[in-house]
Structure 1
Amino acid sequence: MDIAKALTRIDVLRARQFPVAHTRTDQGESGPGYHIAELETSDEFWEDDGTAHEETEEQYEADRDGLGERLAERWGPSQHISLYSTSHRAMNGEDVEEPWARLSGHVPDLHLWQDPESGRWIALGVSHWDEELAFQLLAVVTETDPP
């Protein structure tokens, strides 16, 4: 992963206005109050025996942590939040705000900072929908407080 490019993409998202409706973008998706960017997506998928090809969850977590170190230089240490209870609440019909409801279905936890200048939240997480699907390193910029 190119950390400099990922930081630039995060900075672009931090400055970008939020759309009034949910939309798919060239970088991921956006909606009222949030942007979600796919910083990195694996090309390899899981084998029948449950093992990954070359790119593994551990590599994506290492990339997230490396990028997180650079963000910590800007805003200090991250908060580490689990989205497990958010997923559970959403599955039980509770109205959970976006982007948290959307993320809780496939991102187990996030590293989270708040930009003191804009008040926006910036989060990094590793997405993994299912064993047959690719891993993704996601960056989230939102004005919605975390759950």
Structure 2
Amino acid sequence: MTTAESGSFSRATLEEYLSLIDELLAQPFPEANFHDDTGCGGPEHRVRILRASQEFWDDDDGQAAREADADLRAYLDALIAALTARWGEPLVIDLLPYLRAGLEGEAVSEPINCLSQLTGSMRAWPDRAPGRWLGLAIGQWDKELPLELLAAVGQTLALEPNESGRS
């Protein structure tokens, strides 16, 4: 995981993130659920924190959060552009229906369940590796906690809707 420094966009860092994404797509899914400083995963998914901001406990005016968001968005936009050049336009996935479904007690597959608790949408490329999709998003667990640039890999079926329109 890389900590964000305001205004520190780097082509080398972008290449590092693209390499991490390629590794995520190639790695087998873990046999058991895990959560550590780099992200989380389980038998059918993996989420990697590519970049994280500082925490915002003393950010009373929101300036630090806005600066961190701008930094992460620059990397997100660059990653989207690079991956779009490779694979074509991503899907824009609205995650709010999945959040509502989870709150209503419906089963929501991972990593969609986790991502829906962190952000309202993501960009996703289906079928990037046999039986896998890739998603990118910026998320945050709570307003005082760091913003995170996330790359997620899940099974292709995780994006196919069930009868209620959700996976």
Same fold (TM over 0.5): yes
* 1:105 partnered with 2:117: yes
Q: 1:113-134: CA deviations, max 9, x gaps?
A: 0245423100000011221111
Partner of residue 70, structure 1: 82
Could you tell me how far apart the structure 2 residues matched to 1:59 and 1:26 are?
20
Out of 49-58 and 89-98, give the one that drifted further: 49-58
Name the structure with the higher helix share.
2
C-alpha displacement of 1:65: 1.4
SS of structure 1 residue aligned to 2:85: helix
Match of 1:124 among 117, 121, 136: 136
SS of structure 1 residue aligned to 2:60: coil
Q: Is the 8 A contact 2:128 2:134 kept in 1?
A: no
Aligned pairs, how many?
147
Could you tell me how far apart the structure 2 residues matched to 1:26 and 1:44 are?
15
* 1:24 partnered with 2:39: no
Out of 114-123 and 81-90, give the one that drifted further: 114-123
| TM-score after normalising by structure 1 | 0.90
How do residues 1-147 of structure 1 correspond to structure 2 at under 5 angstroms? 1=9, 2-25=13-36, 27-45=38-56, 47-52=59-64, 55-143=67-155, 144-146=157-159, 147=167
Q: 1:67-105: CA deviations, max 9, x gaps?
A: 111111111011111101110110111111111111111
Unaligned 5+ residue runs, structure 2? 1-8, 160-166
- Identity over aligned pairs, percent: 35
Q: Is the 8 A contact 1:50 1:131 kept in 2?
A: no
Q: Is the 8 A contact 1:109 1:125 kept in 2?
A: yes
SS of structure 2 residue aligned to 1:52: helix
Displaced runs of 4 or more, over 6 A: none
